[in-house]
Amino acid sequence: MARVFAQINPQEFQECFLNWMKSITKITNGEVVAIDGKTLRGSYDKTSEQSAIQMVSAWATTNKLVLGQVKVDEKSNEITAIPELLKVLELSGCIVTIDAIGCQKEIMKLITQQNADYVIALKKNQGNLYDEVEKLFSSGIATGFEGIAHSTYKTEETGHGRHEIRNYVMLMEPRLNPDSVWSKFNSVGMVESVRSLNGETTVETHYFISSLESNAKQFGNSIRSHWGIENSLHWILDVALKEDDCRIRKDNAPQNFAILRHIAVNLLGQEKRVKRGIKNKQFLAGLDNNYLARVLALA
């Protein structure tokens, strides 16, 4: 088995995965597609000086399906892998969310060319753009956003001893440096998170650029959906499928098994008759051939 998976062409295997997903998936209009990277920590190989590989995946947050994935080149990073993933996905009508590493003009162009929207995070290493957005919101807050087209949205949650308030603000047609040419750059957003836990209160502020119109609720739901990729995909891969503990590391095998786990996540997640988690469904499929056949029939 190890030799077989080491020799399978991962690009051909991924193309089979993509064709399968396109044949069974109908993306709903406004679906949030979160794109994020994950390192397979057990895939390093000391003998060949191979570092752990990293996969960038696209996750449909409403349908809870992996839509596609690409491996990050060993001497590169997610900036080069994300465009390759975007080129093979069908994203029309979707909202694509990416963390700050995806704040690149070429990436935004690829998204909008597919008739999709984007919400992309900003960080201080973005330089002038981050500073301009921060000043824009500071000025707006000081004046109550007078004369600035904007919308707001607020959520409040309590649970597990924690109380959290999130304030979302979107500004339309941001008055920024005209040299900053971004594809369909229609708005900027701010999220202020006020969290109280064990008598301590912390405040965090994050900024985003977006092609969305001024709809703070839609903006807020997109941000929350993107954060959910950790719980809905990465956590399942690590806890249920033990991805970080897997020592498969020879040749093409790590990348091929990453795709195989995504197939398992999609199939087990879509099997609704048994009301159990992915880990228990996987265990049941190993014990009961009839249940295994029912899961595989979903393909």
Give domain status of residue 214, yes or no: yes
Give domain status of residue 132, yes or no: no
Going by C-alpha positions, the residue among 209, 222, 218 that lies closest to residue 105 is: 209
CATH code, domain with 64? 3.30.420.10
Q: What is the pLDDT of residue 201?
A: 93
Give domain status of residue 88, yes or no: yes
Give domain status of residue 54, yes or no: yes
Give domain status of residue 134, yes or no: no
Q: What is the pLDDT of residue 173?
A: 77
Give domain status of residue 157, yes or no: no
Give domain status of residue 201, yes or no: no
- What is the reported pTM? 0.90
Q: What is the pLDDT of residue 150?
A: 92
At 293 the three-state DSSP class reads helix
Q: What is the pLDDT of residue 32?
A: 96
The predicted-structure confidence for 145-188, as pLDDT tens digits, reads as follows: 888 899 999 999 988 888 999 999 999 877 665 455 678 889 99
CB 208 within 8 A of CB 122: yes
C-alpha distance from residue 129 to each of 107, 117, 143, 188, 265 (Å): 16, 20, 21, 11, 38
Give domain status of residue 36, yes or no: yes
In the chain, the number of structural domains is 1
Q: What is the pLDDT of residue 177?
A: 58
Residue ranges making up the domain that contains 39: 1-121+209-296
Q: Which residues of the chain have pLDDT under 70?
A: 175-181
The residues with which 32 forms a beta bridge, in sequence order, are 95
